[in-house]
Amino acid sequence: MQVYFDNAATTALDKAVIEVMVQAMNDTFGNPSSIHAHGRETKTIVEKARRTVAKLLNASPAEIFFTSGGTEADNMAIVRAIEAYGISHAISTPIEHHAVLHTLEELEKNGQIKLDFLRLDSKGNVDLAHLETLLQQNPRSFVSVMHANNELGNITDIKRIGELCEQYNAIFHSDTVQTMGHYVHDLTQLKIDFITAAAHKFHGPKGVGFLYINSRNKIKPLIYGGAQERNMRGGTENVYGIVGLAKAMELAYAEMEEHQQYIQSLKDYMKEQLLIHIPEVSFNGETEASKSLYTVLNVSLPCTDMGDMLLFNLDIKGVSASGGSACSSGSDIGSHVLRGIGADPKRPSVRFSFSKYNTKEEIDYVVQVLKEICSK
């Protein structure tokens, strides 16, 4: 049996997304920057996609900028906002995705900012009282806190963070890559300056994402070379990726409630079965539905002698999962997120992440495989 439980790393393309991308490939090939009919035709489908994304977010199309994915979008927001506003102090968490963490650390290394990390509890929740203290001490800060952690699944109250940032005149950026397409983001209800997304996290294509820049913010491009994206990102647009992103997001919003209920039932079922069949199992991060991504379950296992071999043994049995973020799988240093919350280094952990294409039968198989591995 082949089981794919690594949907937080990437998701399978929805067939409807493939269809609209293929149709665009067949019907349009002009450069959207060209002024002739072929170019205008392609430009039209790009702008239609932008309007679709903006409408779903309750934003203006002028606030949506297509990128190569979440990493580029995070880098652009962080580097250019700190530069544009002359900010010398940044606040983040030690368990951010490396697209955020490494960017901020590089800016600190270069002497551009002083970086403070927020305190976390044992489950990885952000201490908002600590955030307010830091903002009181450094009112004009750049704050970057992800909406949901990609390894633990913890959801952070970005509405409250946005209110604190507004109160202390701080710039607020949130990496929303893991929640985009899975939760409603009504940007009229959030005090936020920048959010980021990647299409392949919600059944769209890889290599395309977007950056939302609130209209009150004015920053420079990260990539120069052309007037594309209203002079904000040089380079010919990934037209077919953009078309796929918009369709995937449209489908995600239309089917969101149904998928939330179904996938949450899978997560609850797996947790229940693991507790039954592997008594010493525990879970990293939050697992309550209101506090955690319904797509992610981070499992800490008692088979301490397995270590790095656990994922290998799962793979042999046809199970694709991750030891944390996909970006650090196979790394000798392990997960910075699990270290950040003080997880037991002797206990191997696996992140299982689910999608609408998974089934309870797959969970039964994986639980049985884990039971066999841990009993050796």
Which active-site residues does the annotation give? 327
Spatial contact of 67 and 76, defined as CB atoms under 8 Å apart: yes
Q: Which amino acid is present at 215?
A: S
Phi, psi angle pair for 15, to nearest 5° = -60, -35
- Residue 209's Cβ-side half-sphere holds a number of Cα atoms within 13 Å equal to 27
DSSP reduced 3-state for 320? strand
Measured CA angle at 12 (ends 10, 13), to 5 deg: 115
| Cα 153 from Cα 123, distance rounded (Å) | 10
Buried b (16+ CB within 10 A) or exposed e, 321-337: bbbbbbebbeeeebbbb
DSSP reduced 3-state for 12? coil
Buried b (16+ CB within 10 A) or exposed e, 222-233: bbeeeebbeebb
- Residue 369 contacts by C-beta under 8 Å, 6 or more apart in sequence? 314, 317, 319
| Cα 220 from Cα 302, distance rounded (Å) | 50
- Residue 323 contacts by C-beta under 8 Å, 6 or more apart in sequence? 308, 310, 311, 329, 330, 334, 335, 348, 349, 350, 351
